[in-house]
């Protein structure tokens, strides 16, 4: 099942609303890029790399020492998010927006399975965070703006600090052809 089949229309509209609200709090419009670091400051989130966390559980440390992970919330209050510094800048943006998606949707923090060292993620939460993360990066109205300006996928990606893959994903799930 695709993400749009798994998530209700109502939920997806709510995500666009949250994205608009967060931009509004920063006096940004739908067509303005929203850098992850700006949203991090707004949410009082501290973004860390694994090296900045000295007291990391050994099995978590093993997991973090690979390319197989993107980012994760390690503390809720204060909000600390660990991010994989090996990823590209566009990937960093989408990784962090996904985590902010969890925060804004008030998902419960994920625990690590002590036997495998892997995070015990709930797929429905992951799907929701991915969807909201995409809205935060490129709102539907931002995508329409880019279409009106006849921007290419590449130009749109650069404008929103996103990957071209993210532009295509947003185009697919919103039905806005770019
Ligand atoms: Zn997640």
**Residue 62: predicted pLDDT:** 64
Q: Which residue has the tokens 């940004």?
A: 28
pLDDT at residue 57 in the model: 63
**66 or 42, which is more confident:** 42
Distance 128 CA to ligand 1 centre (A): 9
H/E segment holding residue 81: strand 79-83
* Cα of 68 from ligand 1 centre, angstroms: 13
**pLDDT of 44 above 90:** yes
Rounded distance from Cα 170 to ligand 1 centre (Å):
18
Ligand 1 centre distance from Cα of residue 78 (Å):
18
> What's the rounded mean pLDDT across residues 174-178?
95
pTM of the shown model: 0.91
- Name the least confident of 6-20, 33-47, 99-113, 142-156: 99-113
Rounded distance from Cα 82 to ligand 1 centre (Å): 12
C-alpha 148 – ligand 1 centre gap (Å): 33
CA-based nearest residue to 30, from 40, 21, 38: 21
pLDDT of residue 110: 75
Q: How far is the CA of 157 from the centre of ligand 1 (A)?
A: 22
Helices marked H in the chain: 3-6, 9-25, 36-42, 58-64, 89-104, 123-137, 140-148, 153-159, 164-174
Which residues lie below 8 Å from residue 4, measured CB to CB, with a gap of 6+? 12, 172, 173
Compute, in angstroms, the gap from residue 27 CA to the centroid of ligand 1: 27
Residue 92 or residue 1, greater confidence: 92
- For the chain, the domain total comes to 1
Closest CA to 110 of 70, 138, 137: 70
**pLDDT recorded at residue 9:** 96
* Residue partners of 39: CB distance under 8 A and separation at least 6: 22, 26, 45, 96, 97, 100, 136
Dist. CA 151 → ligand 1 center (Å):
30
Range of the domain at 139: 3-174
16-25, 88-97, 114-123, 127-136: segment of lowest average pLDDT: 114-123
Close Cβ partners of 99 (under 8 Å, ≥ 6 residues apart): 71, 72, 73, 81, 129, 133
Angstrom distance (rounded) from CA 156 to CA 145: 10
């Amino acid at each position: 099942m695709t993400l749009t089949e798994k998530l209700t229309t109502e939920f997806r509209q709510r995500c666009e609303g949250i994205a608009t609200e967060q931009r509004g709090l920063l006096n940004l419009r739908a067509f303005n890029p929203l850098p992850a670091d700006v949203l991090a400051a707004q949410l009082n989130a501290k973004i860390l790399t694994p090296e900045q966390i000295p007291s990391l559980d050994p099995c978590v440390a093993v997991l973090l020492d690979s390319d197989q992970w993107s980012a994760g919330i390690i503390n809720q209050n204060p909000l600390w998010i660990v991010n994989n510094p090996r990823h590209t800048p566009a990937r960093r943006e989408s990784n962090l927006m996904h985590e902010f998606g969890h925060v804004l949707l008030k998902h419960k923090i994920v625990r690590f399975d002590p036997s495998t060292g892997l995070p015990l993620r709930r797929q429905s939460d992951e799907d929701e965070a991915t969807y909201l993360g995409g809205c935060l990066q490129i709102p539907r109205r931002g995508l329409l703006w880019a279409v009106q300006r006849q921007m290419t996928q590449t130009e749109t990606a650069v404008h929103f600090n996103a990957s071209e893959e993210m532009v295509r994903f947003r185009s697919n799930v919103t039905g806005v052809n770019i």
